[in-house]
Structures are given as structure tokens and as C-alpha cells.
């Protein structure tokens, strides 16, 4: 389906981003991987993806807190592949603390990585998408882009911002063959979630098991984590011609969380 197209996925060395990259590669897209991690492990994953799916896969370590690195990554991908057809803004971090205890440096990092990086990649990728008359921008927001939870002030702020930027982007490019949507997942079991369980246990004063069942999955009526394969399938649908009129939307995939 995406033969000859190029997809850049920020934060794709782990979790949702890696799963989305694999799904897009499996349908023929060349891939730009990005994210932090052990250089040797990333190289193994990169070359495995290339040989498994017969596509070109490159890795760029741009730090999503650094606008100049983000610009260079997108322009490098355009230089190498001609354009970025599919941009998936996925990089994200979390910090769980009450507002009056929230470290200022963590606030700044979350706003930069989870929100401002989406502006910087989109800004850099749009000119080539406009010239091509085709593009798909898919922003991985969160249920927390639609509703709030306590102790996640920076994350909730950033994700609500991503939903707003998604709508503005969609309006600006609506007549140029480019769609822009936000995906709003509920809880998906990835390192990002696993890492916050001890802090949430502390903040809520309960055990780690209780955090999973009584805090994390409590707002999710299915009481199940959302699967990585489900996110890959939704991204692929948004890339399809069937989704050409679907733009400016914030799509929940949350087991019914935001139906409450």
C-alpha cells in the first residue's frame, strides 16, 4: 500500500513508535527511525526491519528538545527520499507529580518533546508534502489530549496542545491533499507506562498491582490495555485513500475511556 512512500516516525526506537514503524514498513514504506537508546540495539532493529520488509530504513538520533536537530532530520529525510509522505509524531515522555512538587525542568522537557516537537517536524515536512500534493500527518496524542487526570499536568497540557495543533494544521492544508489527525490512545503497555507505575503507586499511596488494576485501567471500561497492533492498524487506515476526508479529528482508541 505504501510502496515508494517514506514515513518518518519520531520516538520509534521503542513502544508505539516502533510498532507503527514496523507496520508501515510491512506495507512497503521506507522508514526514518528516531529516538533514544543503545546505538548497537537500534542498529540491529534497523537492519532487521530492512531485511524483513525489503525497504530502506535509516535512523536519525535527533533530540526532540532541539529544534535545529529536528529540522535537520526532516530536511535530511527529504534530501534522501525526495519527501516525507507520512509523518508520525509520536515521541513522548511522562512525569507524575502534584503541580506544587512538579520539577520545572520536567515541565519544560514534556512541553518540548510531547508538544513543540510536533510543530517543528510539521513545519519542516509541509513544504515537500505541499509540492507533492499528498501527505499524512498523524499525531499520537492521548486520552489525556481529551480529558485530564491528576498529577500529570505537563502531559495533559502538552497533549491538549497537540490536539489543537492537529486541527489548525488540518485546516491550513485541507485543499492540498494532506490530512492531519490525532490518535488518542488509552493505556498501552509500553516502557513509558511501566516506568510511571512506581511513581503513581507513591502518589496514590497504593501498591504497584493496585495501580495497574485500580488506577491505570480503572477509566478504561474494557479493563484491558490497548494493543500495539491496534495502533498500527489505525495509522495504516489513516494513510489509506479511504481516509482522504478524515482530517482534523482526535480519534480515541481507549476501550471506551472518553465515552464516560
Applying CB under 6 A, does 154 fall inside the site for ligand NAD?
no
Q: Does 235 bind ligand NAD (CB under 6 A)?
A: no
Confirm if 240 and 28 have CB atoms less than 8 A apart.
Answer: no
The distance of Cα 44 from the centroid of its chain, to the nearest Å, equals 22
Length of the chain (residues): 260
Q: Applying CB under 6 A, does 188 fall inside the site for ligand NAD?
A: yes
The reply to whether 257 sits near ligand NAD by the rule CB under 6 A is no
Q: Which stretch binds ligand NAD (CB under 6 A): 45-53, 58-66, 77-85, 97-105?
A: 58-66
The least CB distance from residue 22 to ligand NAD, in Å, is: 13
Closest distance of CB 133 from ligand NAD, Å: 29
In the complex, minimum distance from the CB of residue 246 to ligand NAD, in angstroms, rounded to a whole number: 19
Does 93 participate in binding ligand NAD (rule CB under 6 A)?
A: yes
Q: Is the dihedral of CA 212, 205, 194, 145 positive or negative?
A: positive
Cα within 13 Å of Cα(85), Cβ side: 20
The angle, 0 to 180 degrees and rounded to 10, between the axes of the packed helices 117-132 and 153-172 is 20
Cα dihedral 225, 230, 234, 235 sign: positive
Shortest distance, CB of residue 144 to ligand NAD, whole angstroms? 7
30 lines the binding site for ligand NAD (CB under 6 A): no
The residue within the footprint of ligand NAD, chosen from 40, 54, 133, 191 (CB under 6 A), is: 191
- How far is it, in rounded angstroms, from Cα 188 to Cα 51? 28
- Is 237 among the residues known to form the active site? no
The catalytic site residues sit at 155
Amino acid at each position: 500500500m505504501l510502496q515508494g512512500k517514506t514515513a518518518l516516525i519520531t520516538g520509534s526506537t521503542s513502544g508505539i513508535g516502533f510498532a507503527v514503524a514496523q507496520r508501515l514498513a510491512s506495507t512497503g514504506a521506507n522508514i526514518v527511525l528516531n529516538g533514544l537508546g543503545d546505538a548497537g540495539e537500534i542498529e540491529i532493529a534497523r537492519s532487521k526491519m530492512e531485511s524483513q520488509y525489503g525497504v530502506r530504513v535509516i535512523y536519525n538520533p535527533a533530540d526532540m528538545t532541539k529544534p535545529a536537530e529536528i529540522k535537520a532530520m526532516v530536511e535530511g529525510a527529504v534530501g534522501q527520499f525526495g519527501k516525507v509522505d507520512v509523518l508520525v509524531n509520536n515521541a513522548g515522555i511522562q512525569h507524575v507529580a502534584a503541580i506544587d512538587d512538579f520539577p520545572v525542568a520536567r515541565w519544560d522537557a514534556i512541553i518540548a518533546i510531547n508538544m513543540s516537537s510536533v510543530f517543528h517536524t510539521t513545519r519542516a515536512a509541509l513544504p515537500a508534502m505541499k509540492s507533492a500534493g499528498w501527505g499524512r500527518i498523524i499525531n499520537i496524542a492521548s486520552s489525556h489530549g481529551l480529558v485530564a487526570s491528576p498529577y500529570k499536568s505537563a502531559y495533559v497540557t502538552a497533549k491538549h496542545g497537540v490536539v489543537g495543533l492537529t486541527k489548525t494544521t488540518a485546516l491550513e492544508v485541507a485543499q492540498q491533499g494532506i490530512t492531519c489527525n490525532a490518535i488518542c490512545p488509552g493505556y498501552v503497555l509500553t516502557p513509558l507506562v511501566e516506568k510511571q507505575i512506581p511513581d503513581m503507586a507513591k502518589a496514590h499511596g497504593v501498591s504497584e498491582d493496585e495501580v495497574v488494576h485500580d488506577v491505570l485501567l480503572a477509566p478504561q471500561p474494557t479493563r484491558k490495555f490497548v494493543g500495539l497492533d491496534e495502533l498500527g492498524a489505525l495509522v495504516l487506515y489513516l494513510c489509506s485513500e479511504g481516509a482522504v476526508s478524515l482530517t482534523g479529528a482526535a480519534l480515541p482508541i481507549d476501550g471506551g475511556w472518553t465515552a464516560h
